[in-house]
Amino acid sequence: MLPGVLLLSNGTPTTRQRLESALRYAGQGAQLTGLPAAELHGLQRLPPFSKVHVLIPEARKRASARYVVVERTSRLPEPHICSGFPAAPLARAVLDAARRLTDIDQIRALLAEPVQRGLVEPSALAEELDEGSGRGTARCRVVLREMFANVHSPAEGWAYRLLQHSDLPQMQWNVRILDPTGKLLGIPDGWFDDAALAWQIDSLEYHLSPADYQLTVRRHTTMTAAGIVVVHTLPSQLRTEPQKVLAELRNAYQQALHRPRPPVTAVTRIR
């Protein structure tokens, strides 16, 4: 399988055998990181991968070989044991993976999932990014800036960047909208507070489950009944028709400003 590591059976190695062989090849003190470690931590929205990324102490020398990427580090973390394998903590694992990705949407999805699921705080990702190597961090920093603006998904990231270059006012992201009694009306992707306008990026792909998506659809009805203007946009429109999206949003915003604002309150969500 690898130099000095043999598979004592016929057939294609299993995933576990590939991970075990990578650790045996890397030697004492090695631990998994990157996408294999993220998968062991339970993440699901991962890009396809074939390489096994391992960390080893800086004092040791071992070259990468075949499907194993060996990275020496002076910041070897205390590993977590995941399904019997030593793996880097989740924040380190996803950032080690993100630094090697070139597609910013893959980075958005990779970093968004653990934050949405409450497994990692954005502040922990920022701290890990600052302490680690500066190589490959530019796209990661763009995504983290979006996260600190409360942007949660790749599609919301496209919307966020589109608005940054428009003449529309600053939008709030993923805030809780309450009626006068404190009842939750909805959590729209985007929110113009002065106009009480909600912007929904309609995509099942970027919700954690079909149930989450169905809840979003039900909340549209609730928000509309409360007098909120709701604008719907498909993720594909953000990519192929950005100026048309802006024009529709601008028109809806101007119309919303000229009707009585409903008595609703926007509250920033606490992570």
Q: 154-267 adopts what CATH topology?
A: Endonuclease; Chain A (3.40.960)
Given a contact cutoff of 8 angstroms between Cβ atoms, the answer to whether 185 and 192 are in contact is no
pLDDT at 189: 92
Contact of 31 with 55, CB cutoff 8 Å = yes
pTM of the entire predicted model: 0.82
Express each pLDDT in 152-197 by its tens digit.
888 899 999 999 999 999 999 999 999 999 999 999 999 999 999 9
Residue 185: closest CA among 205, 215, 155, 209? 215
Distance of CA 9 to the CA centre of its chain: 39
Alpha carbon distance 171, 173 (integer Å): 6
Q: Residues with Cβ < 8 Å from 158, sequence gap 6 or more? A: 235, 238, 239
Per-residue pLDDT, averaged over 71-76, amounts to: 96
Given this model, what pLDDT does residue 84 score?
98
156, 173 Cβ separation under 8 angstroms: yes
Q: What is the pLDDT of residues 97-152, one digit of tens each?
A: 999 999 999 999 999 999 989 999 999 999 999 998 888 999 999 999 999 999 98
For the chain, what are the domain ranges? 15-148, 154-267
Range of lowest pLDDT (28-37, 152-161, 238-247, 248-257): 152-161
User: Rounded to the nearest 10 degrees, how much is the dihedral formed by the CA atoms of 216, 222, 227, 232?
Assistant: 20
Residues in the chain: 271
CA atoms of 224 and 243, how far apart (whole Å): 25
State the Cα–Cα distance between residues 186 and 196, nearest whole angstrom: 12
- Contact (Cβ atoms closer than 8 angstroms) between residue 229 and residue 195: yes
* 196-225: pLDDT as tens digits: 999 999 765 555 556 666 776 788 889 999
Decide the pairing of beta strands 197-201 and 190-192: antiparallel
Containing H/E element for 265? strand 265-267
Q: Which residues of 129-164 are buried (b: 16+ CB within 10 A; e: fewer)?
A: beebeeebbebbeebbebbebbbbbbbbbbbbebbe
